[in-house]
Amino acid sequence: MDLRLEVKHICKQTGARYGILHTPHGQVEVPMFMPVGTLATVKYISPEELEDINSGVILSNTYHLWLRPGEDVVENAGGLHKFMNYKGPILTDSGGFQVFSLSENRKIEEEGVTFKSHLDGSKLFLSPEKSIEIQNKLGADIIMSFDECPPYPVTHEYMKNSVERTLRWAARGKANHKNKNQALFGIVQGGEFQDLRKISAEETVKIGFDGYAIGGTSVGEDKETMYKMIDYCIDYLPKDKPRYLMGVGSYDSIIEGVVRGIDMFDCVLPTRIARHGALMTSEGRLNIRDKKNEYDLRPIDEGCDCYTCKNYSRSYLRHLYRCKEGLGQRLLSIHNLRFLIRLMEEIRIAIKEDRLGDFKEDFFERYGLNEKNPKGF
Amino acid sequence: MDLRLEVKHICKQTGARYGILHTPHGQVEVPMFMPVGTLATVKYISPEELEDINSGVILSNTYHLWLRPGEDVVENAGGLHKFMNYKGPILTDSGGFQVFSLSENRKIEEEGVTFKSHLDGSKLFLSPEKSIEIQNKLGADIIMSFDECPPYPVTHEYMKNSVERTLRWAARGKANHKNKNQALFGIVQGGEFQDLRKISAEETVKIGFDGYAIGGTSVGEDKETMYKMIDYCIDYLPKDKPRYLMGVGSYDSIIEGVVRGIDMFDCVLPTRIARHGALMTSEGRLNIRDKKNEYDLRPIDEGCDCYTCKNYSRSYLRHLYRCKEGLGQRLLSIHNLRFLIRLMEEIRIAIKEDRLGDFKEDFFERYGLNEKNPKGF
């Protein structure tokens, strides 16, 4: 296994970690945000553009690639990197979250989950072994254990059974992991229950993985509850392995996660909201469709160094957005991704300079994140 | 007026012209194909990508920009070049063709045309003066006279009246042309009637324009008829001014046009068919959606030098196309545009080497263009 986390500095103000993650496709700095390329493409954006915004690791979805084009097609191309022409590191999720979020009629059994395709309603079955088998063929640098991602809230009893099953699934997946060049991460579940988060973390670590994710976040809980979910388990995770908070991309949650010791984040948020015309800026949220942008020749964000802000006005971007032009989707997505990735760059500097606590305070004040009507996401 | 055609060579085999068109935004070689950027964007493609495929002049549509975002918004940005961040030359059409093609209920009077918006059905009025006024604000390097573009076929009597009215409109538009940095082209009409094409050409030249277009093509006539439309008028056009065949983008028609002395072409064909998965290749048409491409790791066209062919397989492109991914639309459009623009590069070399006749013969044989089932478009 070629993945290794080199922790270079611990912020004296917060305990947040700065480090280098060594992968088979190069080194990346953590903490980092990973753009999501669901179907082996970050929507509208080329690999060169991803490189240009300093994207690091990108994430692709096993469930979606399993359905289209099928893992054999990707394997035939020599794996995801060659298939989609991305030279940096790639992570694939396990399908566990999609089974939860896309399928209304799912039947969870010890062997695996039976559910319906979101494309044509056909019957599908995913198991820990099958998920790893698919991910082995996809060939990402980092792959994920197949877990149950329960809704929020469920009873303690339901969650206890679920956590125990997910542990058995984690062991089965690990046993079936054939390509040792790929790092395999375990996933800690347990909802908002402190005892179950502890058990899940300790037992997952006992099985032994190359990194650990905190799952069951962003499934409907409020942010304070999510922060507790991190607090309840992070101390049980080994300090020399990467820690990944799944599905989190709002900037306040990213900062709260880093302060708590998280190294990796992913979310569709920046690209999805961009496609709906909502932009992250240093002055808060900007809705590009607003009439006030019609004659506005300023970039989205004066201080932004992205391709979009260097070359296009709000006036033009509003026009493209209103006309549903693909170039608009592309330019808006580039901006939001770069905004979040630049935030990560600033966070890393703040960690190295032992001032992430001050950074957080300034940031939250600037965006009104302690107030009732914050200017952000 | 800063537009000047420098004819550098006449092909001894065919009489086709090679030259340099000097514009306020740089020099471009002719004969050339102009990609269409209807709404101030060549769909999905950035200005840098257009430059990379050696696009030269691009065309944008007055009618569409008049409706969205409105010519005042473009003027406020400093004109189309700054608005859309395109550094090369731009041509805007007059709206005459869109009035014909998009609107079923149009009422043509001496003053202008009343018709309905394709967006919301609201009543619109375009006149020669209004079209030029809009185009002055848009600020393209080359602008077009407002003409009537009659359907095919109409009676000789209808066409005669139409040609005469278009001549009066051309004079009115020229009189209203305020920005002398923009070249103004006249448009020759007359349908398939030899006498009317001659009259239209001679009288348009008498009014005096910076270049001349042949209009009323690609409105339903067969290709032989279109070639006659060129033959009937081209000898009456001045040799030192650019000649533009409007709306033509199939490769056989481009070659036939060049052989007859045409310098400029435009068409939505390469980008529109690309968005429907139809690709131009040296082996004829390729439908990317076909099952046979599922595991095919070859590029679209082995001999192609475009970004898409250098980096992506048919297998990946088919996947993107099936999933309706914007990156697919983008990559397929880049290929088709580069295919046509590379064809123009080859045509220009053949002219300079006095062998365009041989080139045409080889090309038509390769694509089966003299046969019943040609492999092309």
Residue pLDDT, tens place only, A361-374: 999 999 998 888 88
Q: Given CB atoms, is A52 within the 8 Å cutoff of chain B?
A: no
Q: Given CB atoms, is A314 within the 8 Å cutoff of chain B?
A: no
B320–A41 C-beta distance less than 8 A: yes
Amino acid identity at A169 = W
Nearest chain A residue to B331, by CA: A46
Tens-digit pLDDT profile for residues A175-193: 999 999 999 999 999 999 9
Residue carrying structure tokens 């566990």: A96
Q: Determine the Cα–Cα distance for residues B154 and B157; give it in Å rounded to an integer.
A: 8
Q: Given CB atoms, is A370 within the 8 Å cutoff of chain B?
A: no
A329–B330 C-beta distance less than 8 A: no
Residue A266 a catalytic site member: yes
Q: What angle do CA B13, B19, B24 make, to 5 degrees?
A: 165
Residue B93 a catalytic site member: yes
Q: In the predicted model, what is the mean pLDDT of residues B44-60?
A: 98
Residues 69-88 of B with CB under 8 A from A: 69, 73, 76-77, 83-85
CA separation (Å) from B106 to A147, B102, B124, B217? Answer: 62, 10, 10, 20
pTM: predicted TM-score of the whole model, two decimal places: 0.98
Q: Report the C-alpha dihedral over residues A14, A17, A18, A20, rounded to 10 degrees.
A: 180
Produce one character per residue of B344-362: b if its CB has 16 or more CB atoms within 10 Å, e if not: beebbebbeeebbbebbee
Bridge pairing between strands A211-214 and A183-188: parallel
Q: Given CB atoms, is B6 within the 8 Å cutoff of chain A?
A: no
Q: Determine the Cα–Cα distance for residues A10 and A12; give it in Å rounded to an integer.
A: 6
Tell me the nearest-neighbour CA distance from A37 into chain B, angstroms. 11
- In the prediction, which pLDDT does B374 show? 85
Bridge pairing between strands B90-92 and B58-60: parallel
The complex scores an ipTM of 0.98
Q: Given CB atoms, is B286 within the 8 Å cutoff of chain A?
A: no
Catalytic pick from A147, A252, A266, A301? Answer: A266
Strands (E), A182-237: 183-188, 211-214
B316–A44 C-beta distance less than 8 A: no
B118 interaction partners in chain A (CB closer than 8 Å): none
Q: How far is CA B195 from the centre of its chain?
A: 25
**pLDDT for B1 beyond 70:** no
The token pair at A25 is 């496709």
Nearest chain A residue to B291, by CA: A69
Q: Determine the Cα–Cα distance for residues A69 and A314; give it in Å rounded to an integer.
A: 37
**pLDDT for A97 beyond 90:** yes
Q: Determine the Cα–Cα distance for residues B9 and A263; give it in Å rounded to an integer.
A: 64
B85 interaction partners in chain A (CB closer than 8 Å): 311-312, 316
- Considering only CB atoms, B85 lies closest to which of A76, A77, A312, namely A312
Residues 239-278 of A with CB under 8 A from B: none
Bridge pairing between strands A26-30 and A17-23: antiparallel
Q: In the predicted model, what is the mean pLDDT of residues A23-36?
A: 98
Q: Determine the Cα–Cα distance for residues B80 and A316; give it in Å rounded to an integer.
A: 10
The token pair at B267 is 């068409």
The token pair at B242 is 């650019």
Nearest chain A residue to B294, by CA: A73
For A33-80, the DSSP string reads EE-B-TTSS-TT--HHHHHHTT--SEEE-HHHHHHTT-HHHHHHTTSH
A295 interaction partners in chain B (CB closer than 8 Å): 73, 76
- In the prediction, which pLDDT does B320 show? 98
A312 vs A151, more confident:
A312
* Average pLDDT of chain B to the nearest whole number: 96
A73–B294 C-beta distance less than 8 A: yes
Tens-digit pLDDT profile for residues B108-159: 999 999 999 999 999 999 999 999 999 999 999 999 999 999 999 999 999 9
A311–B85 C-beta distance less than 8 A: yes
Q: Determine the Cα–Cα distance for residues A124 and A106; give it in Å rounded to an integer.
A: 10
